[in-house]
Amino acid sequence: MIEFKNVSKVYPNGTYGLKDVSVKIEQGEFVFVLGSSGAGKSTFLKLIMHEETPTSGEITVNDFKVSSMKQKEVPLLRRSMGIVFQDFRLIPNMNVYDNVAFALRVTGTPTRELRKRVPFVLDLVGLVDKAKNMPTELSGGEQQRVALARALVNKPSLIIADEPTGNIDPELSMEIVDMLDSINKVGTTILMVTHEHELIRRYENRIITIENGTILSDRPDWRSV
Ligand SMILES: Nc1ncnc2c1ncn2[C@@H]1O[C@H](COP(=O)(O)OP(=O)(O)OP(=O)(O)O)[C@@H](O)[C@H]1O
């Protein structure tokens, strides 16, 4: 669950990132966050991840009071979420298997658990047969699927996808959204930021549109009305 209560973010140079935003996203929703460049989408995500702190207002994410959180609690918050970036951010000198396994190794997961979990998520994203490939040997869409597997491997309750289709051919973009959709169907909350109206027009999910740091519109999920 994500809740913003009257949240504003003013950057040190006086620019407003967000202005008095109040919004609630329940566990299990799949929400698109739409907005043009400079609208405030990244600010919204950074506040959720505690990469930035709000100037005023209250933020709750997965039972963490993010707005008043101590720095030492941040790793716990981050472990409750999986993050997918536009530029994939795979480790170039590790193969697909190790890129995914790395996310488990850093949290001290036992090897026997890792041997079950990594093939499971690679199967979910349809990449078992590419486990030994290096990132440079994969297409953009495949690299993003590895990033998705890595985000999923710690069983997060929330996936944040920041323009995940921004570097992918349009035909493959739908494949990524469909994959997020099937992950959502097993209960994971999905927040996907995009500026691609065309892509999300085909879906019936809730769409929060941000403009000039405020919520311009909040279209409900048409599947549930
Ligand atoms: N570190 C910063 N210092 C000052 N102003 C900032 C900073 N980061 C963002 N801004 C400003 O805050 C506003 C919102 O920016 P934000 O990055 O959240 O937009 P965005 O919707 O993510 O845009 P894009 O799609 O281009 O990434 C913009 O006016 C931007 O210039």
What is the ipTM metric for this complex? 0.97
Ligand 1 atom 11, closest CA: 17
**What is the model's pLDDT at position 225?**
67
Q: Domain locations in the chain?
A: 2-80+156-224, 91-155
Read off the amino acid at residue 26.
E
Read off the amino acid at residue 168.
I
d(CA 131, CA 98): 8
pLDDT score of 46 more than 80: yes
128 CB neighbour count, 10 Å cutoff? 15
Q: Ligand 1 within 6 A of 111 CB?
A: no
What percent of the chain has pLDDT above 70?
100
Largest CA distance in the chain: 51
Ligand 1 geometric centre to CA of 146 (Å): 28
**Third-level CATH fold of 2-80+156-224:** Rossmann fold (3.40.50)
Q: Ligand 1 within 6 A of 15 CB?
A: yes
pLDDT score of 202 more than 90: no
Q: Ligand 1 within 6 A of 194 CB?
A: no
- Exposed/middle/buried for residue 107 (C-beta within 10 Å: 0-12, 13-18, 19+): exposed
What global pTM score does this model have?
Answer: 0.92
d(CA 110, CA 103): 12
Ligand 1 atom 18, closest CA: 40
**Could you give phi then psi for residue 84, rounded to 5 degrees?**
-120, 130
